[in-house]
Structure 1
């Protein structure tokens, strides 16, 4: 049985890798980091839109390319490797997925076509400060089609045109709402982040008009959790890509840096570090493949596969980023070295859709459910 990607998918991955190496190398991420006025690499994002990347997994009837989750996974891996500072994940992994899973046919047709055409940047607004939301802890309210409350942190909040927002209705049931962020009832506030190349912000709703996305109650909560599971798999591939880039960076430096008359890569202590990172990366990649299979096939195992992929990839990326700094030694801690770019991204992705503790609880819950 072959669990690898197909030749066509590998060809897509190679094309994405070549584009990002040419248009979005680490100098682009550093430029966004160094310039507080830049929220993302707009020129790179525009080129991605022209190539149809935003609509890669959107069905053709909604104006997309009509490829699947596996193609999206190979793209995510390369986006993570390059640290591309673009709103791809918030728009494609989260916003589009929520509309696809929860929206009506009319909403899908209108919203997804705009994303595929490059007219809309989207995001998913679910967090309300520290801690992960639960149906009984959501404070933002949707009353008579208008939102009242605040969501933060929200990925790409400062540049998004629309959002799917998790709220509660008049009956205190969870619901998902589709919101145009350009209206007067929405205020934005930029937030400081460990990784400014992926901007974070707060969205304040003061009577903003909203459309209900699907049904309220258990149905809405199930859609929300399914969206997070799908995003967890895709972010796992981003994290694997970043971890692989860290390992390659450490290997390259260890082969170039000499100490006591020979490359430091020849020393056993460095070899052991790099070997441990490699093992962690391969374990994360295997679990990401498991998640990709479950996502693409619509398997009932998706909640378990997504959580396993998420935890494994988070741990692998954080370890790879930290060890890359260590292998670079004193140089690794400087602003001029690229190590901190990966360290920032690894820490940012680790908490973006719930911290590892939340996903470990999901693993436990899924095993208990299977045993029961």
Structure 2
């Protein structure tokens, strides 16, 4: 297998990185935390103008016919800059649900809106755990009830919602416009630069995903795809935290020497680098499985999720330690990486759940092998 990105994909990476460095520096994430980030909306619009929102969408829906690998490239760069844009909710979750569970006619009604820059979101339990009585109710084409934790809920124009269907007495995934009959409430989180909201639906018109035979299977498939894409964001953040720590270690001097020349700091940076490279190998394997539709996708998703969560968390923590007492202050940007690492680590369910999925997948593979 060749896990290298192509020359065209590397060009995409370069252009997206240039754009984000100029338009979404770390000061934008800080501003979003402090004032709600009106500038972030403009950045999302300009990203749509670059064609980022068309990735993975079919040409009939305004897409460019590109695949998962290009979106992985963009995800890594967005993670590197901690960009406060609704990429995950729109392209990792809502768009994937439409690609997997909607007919072509339904896709052609909804996906062009994403291609043009409308934000979308996923109003279903992100951790995959649900209780029927806690879900909104779908009856006679209308949604009622609440969704307590919705990513980018304040910015989204429409949502894919997991609800109880009173007619079938089962579950159903529906598409809903987020208009005046949806009450949105911001939710406080550890990382306000990646905001969440709660929804209360009061007679909102909605339509079921018309090619979805098993809503829970689709929820699981969307979470696996999102796990790989989110792992690339975590990988980008981990690399940026390493760069920040290494840059400070080269500049900060004690006793006439740069602190990076001391063995204790060298070992910290080497440990971050090693974990990041281990996570990179898992992410690349996940990208291959996602792009090729390989049967290894569930196992690859779990591996990417676990390794990237651990790498980003470790890098963010060691970045603070490298900065010493200054690393704990509001003025230094270390806490931005730490906040993002902690929040992304639980966004799709905690790492323990994904580790358990990984172990069970490996055990199943071993049991399927013929005896020696």
Same fold (TM over 0.5): yes
Q: Indicate whether 1:125 and 2:123 are aligned.
A: yes
Q: Give 5+ residue unaligned stretches, structure 2.
A: none
Contact 2:137-2:145 at 8 Å conserved across structures: yes
Q: CA RMSD in A?
A: 1.7
State the Cα distance separating 1:215 from its structure 2 match: 5.5
What is the count of residue pairs matched by the alignment? 366
Question: TM-score normalised to the size of structure 2?
Answer: 0.94
1:270 alignment counterpart: 265
Counterpart selection for 1:247 from 242, 248, 257: 242
Alignment of 1:20-39 (within 5 A): 20-35=20-35, 37-38=36-37
State the Cα distance separating 1:81 from its structure 2 match: 0.2
State the Cα distance separating 1:354 from its structure 2 match: 1.4
Question: TM-score normalised to the size of structure 1?
Answer: 0.94
Give secondary structure in 1 for the equivalent of 2:197: strand
State the Cα distance separating 1:174 from its structure 2 match: 2.3
1:212 alignment counterpart: 208
Q: Indicate whether 1:45 and 2:50 are aligned.
A: no
Matched residues in 1 for 2:130 and 2:148: separation?
A: 15
Contact 1:40-1:87 at 8 Å conserved across structures: no
Give secondary structure in 1 for the equivalent of 2:201: strand
2:87 alignment counterpart: 88
Contact 1:158-1:201 at 8 Å conserved across structures: yes
Counterpart selection for 2:328 from 308, 317, 333: 333
Deviations for 1:8-45, whole angstroms, at most 9, x for unmatched residues?
A: 1111111111111111111111111221x436611211
State the Cα distance separating 1:222 from its structure 2 match: 1.3
Structure 1 range deviating more: 345-354 or 281-290: 345-354
Matched residues in 2 for 1:50 and 1:169: separation?
A: 38
Give secondary structure in 1 for the equivalent of 2:84: coil
Deviations for 1:234-282, whole angstroms, at most 9, x for unmatched residues?
A: 0000000000000010000001011111011011111111111111100
Kindly tell me: are residues 137 and 346 of structure 1, through their superposed partners in 2, closer, same or farther at Cα, counting changes over 3 Å? farther
Structure 1 range deviating more: 56-65 or 75-84: 56-65
Contact 1:49-1:117 at 8 Å conserved across structures: yes
State the Cα distance separating 1:61 from its structure 2 match: 1.2
Contact 1:72-1:234 at 8 Å conserved across structures: yes
Kindly tell me: are residues 108 and 215 of structure 1, through their superposed partners in 2, closer, same or farther at Cα, counting changes over 3 Å? closer
Counterpart selection for 1:160 from 156, 160, 174: 156
1:179 alignment counterpart: 176
Structure 1 range deviating more: 201-210 or 90-99: 201-210
